Amino acid sequence: MKKNVIAMILVGGKGTRLKELTKDTAKPAVSFGAKYRLIDFTLSNISNSDIDTVGVVTQYEPYNLMHYIGSGNSWDLDVVEGGIHFLTPFSKKGSMKWQRGTAHAIRQYFNFITEYNADYVLILSGDHVYKMDYNAMLSSHCEHNADLTVATTRVKKEEAHRFGIFNMDEEGFARSFKEKPSKPNSTLASMGIYLFNVDVLKNLLLEICGEDDVDFGKNVIPAAIDNAYKVHLHVFGDYWRDVGTVDSLFYANMDMLDHPELLNLNQSKDKPVYSRSYNLPPHLVGDEATIRHSVIADGADIQGNVWRSTVGYETVIESGATIKDSVIFPNVRIGSDVLLKRVIVNRNVVIPDGFKLEAKRPTLIDVGDVGRGDSDE
C-alpha cells in the first residue's frame, strides 16, 4: 500500500506539569474550551490536510484517550486503507519496549512507516492548540528540496529559553539549533512538528543516532544539522500554544474567549476543529442566571452567574454562585453562593455551598482541594 504522507502523533508523555489534570489520563485527552480535548486540534489539522493514515503512539494512561478517539470517525479518519492506528508499548524477547523519548518512540514503530511505503512522515504532538494546513508545510518542503522541515514560530524573548531555538540563514535553512538554551540568541522556536523524507528519518534514527539518542530536540535535529542534511524552517505566523502547564492551559482558554479570531472556532468552513459528539441535550440557563463572554457546553445547567469562563459538559452551577475568569471541566457540580475566580476546576469535582476562592494566579482545584477556603487576594 502506497501513501504519500503519513502522520505519527506522540501522545505518550506523562504531562506532570499539568498536575492532577493528568493523574489518570494522557495530556492530549485534557479538556479545552468547554467542548474540546487537546487532541482535537492535531486530529482536525490532519483531517483538514487530507492525510488519512495516522499512527497514535501511546504509553502513559492511554485508555481515556483511545476511547475518546475510537475509530477516528469524528475527524473523518475511519478509512479502510489507512485510518487511525494505536501504537502501544509491547514486549519483545522477554522485555517491555518502553519509550524513552520522542525519537526512541518513533524508532520502535518504524515498521509502521515502512508498511505504508510513505514518501514523507509528519511527526506531531497531541497537546498543542493551533490550526495548521500541513499541505503548506509539505509544499515548502518540496519547493526547497529539503531533507527535513521543522515548523517554527516566533516567541517572546523572555520565553525563548523554554523552547528549542533555531538560527536561520537567508534561504530559510537552519544554521544552528539549541534545545532550551539558557541564553537564547534567537526567538525562532521549534513547534515540535517535523516533516521528514522517510529515507532521511531512517538514516538518522537507525544509522547516525545511537540507542541513547532518544529525543528529536536533544539528539536528532542537532545530528541532522551536524551531518549536513538540508533542514528547512517553515515559519508559522498564526496562533499556537504549547499547553504543558496549568498556566498555559488557563491562558489558552482565555485567549479563545478574548480573541476568538485567533482560532476561528466558530467558523465551520475555515479549517473546522472537530470533536467527539456526546449527543447531550442543549445547556439550560435559569431565570436568575447571567452569562457574559463565556462558552457553555451541552448538558450544562446554569442557575448562577458565569463571566469570562468556559463551562464543560454536564456541569451544574447552582443559584447564587459566581464564576469569573475560570475554566470549569466537564461533570462538575458547583454549589450555591460559591465564588470562584481565576481557577481551573478538574472534572468530577463537587464544590460545596458557600466555598470561595479568588486566586491571584491560575489555580487548579481538584478533588480534596475544596476544603481549603477563602480568598487569597
Q: What does the pLDDT read at residue 43? A: 98
Q: For residue 9, what pLDDT band results from cuts at 50, 70 and 90?
A: very high
Q: What does the pLDDT read at residue 13? A: 66
Examine the domain organization and report whether 233 and 323 are in the same domain: no
Q: What does the pLDDT read at residue 323? A: 98
- How far apart CA 121 and CA 68 sit, in angstroms, is 24
Q: Which of 206, 230, 262 is the last residue of a domain?
A: 262
* CA 89 distance to own-chain centroid: 21
Q: What does the pLDDT read at residue 373? A: 44
Q: Which amino acid is at 19?
A: K
Q: What does the pLDDT read at residue 221? A: 96
Query: What is the percent of the chain where pLDDT is above 90?
Result: 77
Q: What contacts 117, CB < 8 A, 6 or more positions away?
A: 1, 2, 3
Domain presence at residue 271: no
Please check the confidence at residue 267 and state whether its pLDDT lies above 60: yes
Domain presence at residue 372: no
Examine the domain organization and report whether 350 and 241 are in the same domain: no
Please check the confidence at residue 311 and state whether its pLDDT lies above 70: yes
Residue 234's nearest CA partner among 162, 159, 143, 158 is 143
Examine the domain organization and report whether 29 and 105 are in the same domain: yes
Domain presence at residue 267: no
Q: Which amino acid is at 100?
A: R
CATH code for the domain of 296: 2.160.10.10
What is the distance in angstroms between the CA of the first residue and the CA of the last residue of the chain? Answer: 61
Tens-digit pLDDT profile for residues 171-180 = 999 999 999 9
CATH code for the domain of 228: 3.90.550.10
Q: Note the pTM of the prediction, 2 decimals.
A: 0.93
Average pLDDT (91-100) is 55
Examine the domain organization and report whether 302 and 196 are in the same domain: no
Domain presence at residue 128: yes
Tens-digit pLDDT profile for residues 55-87 = 999 877 788 899 999 999 999 999 988 999 999
Examine the domain organization and report whether 201 and 309 are in the same domain: no
Examine the domain organization and report whether 245 and 304 are in the same domain: no
Question: According to the 3-state scheme, what is the secondary structure of 18-35?
Answer: HHHHHCCCCHHHCEECCC
Q: Which three cell numbers stand for residue 15?
A: 504531562
Q: What does the pLDDT read at residue 292? A: 98
Please check the confidence at residue 151 and state whether its pLDDT lies above 70: yes
Share the mean pLDDT of the chain. 91
Examine the domain organization and report whether 212 and 330 are in the same domain: no
Domain presence at residue 215: yes
Examine the domain organization and report whether 291 and 253 are in the same domain: no
Q: Which amino acid is at 56?
A: V
Q: For residue 266, what pLDDT band results from cuts at 50, 70 and 90?
A: confident
Q: What does the pLDDT read at residue 15? A: 54
Q: What does the pLDDT read at residue 136? A: 96
**Range scoring the smallest mean pLDDT among 37-46, 91-100, 172-181, 339-348:** 91-100
Q: What is the extent of the structural domain holding 69?
A: 5-262
Tens-digit pLDDT profile for residues 321-334 = 999 999 999 999 99
Q: What does the pLDDT read at residue 244? A: 85
Tens-digit pLDDT profile for residues 98-146 = 556 788 889 988 999 999 999 999 999 999 999 999 999 999 999 999 9
Examine the domain organization and report whether 254 and 299 are in the same domain: no
Question: According to the 3-state scheme, what is the secondary structure of the chain?
Answer: CCCCEEEEEECCCCCHHHHHHHCCCCHHHCEECCCEECHHHHHHHHHHCCCCEEEEECCCCCHHHHHHHCCCHHHCCCCCCCEEEEECCCEECCEECCCCCHHHHHHHCHHHHHHCCCCEEEEEECCEEECCCHHHHHHHHHHCCCCEEEEEEECCHHHHHHCEEEEECCCCEEEEEEECCCCCCCCEEEEEEEEEEHHHHHHHHHHHCCCCCCCHHHHHHHHHHHCCCCEEEEECCCCEEECCCHHHHHHHHHHHHHCHHHCCCCCCCCCCCCCCCCCCCCCEECCCCEEECCEECCCCEECCEEECCEECCCCEECCCCEEECCEECCCCEECCCCEEEEEEECCCCEECCCCEEEEEEEEEECCCCCCCCCCCC
Q: Which three cell numbers stand for residue 101?
A: 523519548
Q: What does the pLDDT read at residue 50? A: 95
CA angle 20, 23, 25 (to 5 degrees): 120
Domain presence at residue 374: no
Please check the confidence at residue 91 and state whether its pLDDT lies above 70: no
Q: What does the pLDDT read at residue 92? A: 57
Please tell me which residue, 233 or 18, carries the higher pLDDT value: 233
Domain presence at residue 78: yes
Examine the domain organization and report whether 13 and 145 are in the same domain: yes
Please check the confidence at residue 1 and state whether its pLDDT lies above 70: no
Domain presence at residue 273: no
Examine the domain organization and report whether 220 and 140 are in the same domain: yes
Number of domains in the chain: 2
Examine the domain organization and report whether 30 and 176 are in the same domain: yes
Please check the confidence at residue 343 and state whether its pLDDT lies above 90: yes
* CA 192 distance to own-chain centroid: 11
